[in-house]
Amino acid sequence: MKLPINPKLLLLSVAIATLMASCSSMKKTQRPIARNGNGQTAEPTAPTVKKRGPYIMETPDKEIATKYSTLMGVKKNDIKNGRLYNFIEEWMGTPYRFGGLGKDGVDCSGFVYNLEQQVYDIANMPRSTNLQINFIKRKYEEELKEGDLVFFDFDGKQFSHVGVYLQNGYVVHASTRRGVIIVKLHDPSLYKYFSRGGSIILEGDSEEQSSGR
């Protein structure tokens, strides 16, 4: 004996089936949600590249010179590269994000990539540490100058981290825990991983000649 079909129940069943099919389709077509270091939803952003023209040493503002001379224990007159320290000031405290290139998050090689392009106008700067290491003329530690690159072997991996040497033994880098910071190269938590440093070889330089900034 067949039971009579309730039109209302049939309509409800069709509606539920349609809703379940549409949710499944949405899940398949959704883009991955980018999240920041705090687990919050973050919209992907493209890096902002400032067009500054050919590299020219610019005098820093007095406030910038005072701040960074005090931080690194050097004379105020030793802070001469306004482009460099203005860039660092803009990026200071930016959180670390693997693969990041923007102010919402940046990794170590991305920070160096941006710095060398925007401060020194090095257009052919590689993006990753494994290529950046081949972009320098190696120096002894005591020979390092402002703008040189310094590499570290983190997690047992050779040249897995990079920063930029400043003055008086200080480097700026994108730390995985603290974001963009300035620290002593000889900081115990950092120096034990120090591997190599050197000046960037500019396009057209010979093997004997490097940037020498």
> Per-residue pLDDT averaged across 182-211, rounded?
83
Active site residue 186: no
* pLDDT above 60: residue 90: yes
* pLDDT above 50: residue 24: no
Sign, CA torsion 182/166/154/106: positive
Q: Which among 97, 161, 171, 172 is annotated as catalytic?
A: 161
* The CATH homologous superfamily of the domain defined by 62-200: endopeptidase domain like (from Nostoc punctiforme) (3.90.1720.10)
d(CA 50, CA 109): 18
pLDDT winner (highest mean) among 26-30, 99-103, 123-127, 200-204: 99-103
Active site residue 108: yes
Parse the chain into domains and list their residue ranges.
Answer: 62-200
* pLDDT above 80: residue 55: no
What does each C-alpha distance from 188 to 93, 139, 183, 185 come to in angstroms? 21, 21, 11, 8
Cross-sheet strand order for the sheet of 161-165: 136-139, 194-200, 149-152, 161-165, 170-175, 179-184
Q: Which among 84, 108, 171, 172 is annotated as catalytic?
A: 108
- Dmax over Cα atoms in the chain, in whole Å? 100
* pLDDT above 60: residue 29: no
Q: What is the CA radius of gyration of the chain?
A: 25
> Per-residue pLDDT averaged across 77-82, rounded?
97
> Per-residue pLDDT averaged across 116-134, rounded?
94
d(CA 156, CA 92): 27
Global pTM value: 0.72
> Scanning the structure block, which residue is given the tokens 């482009």?
83
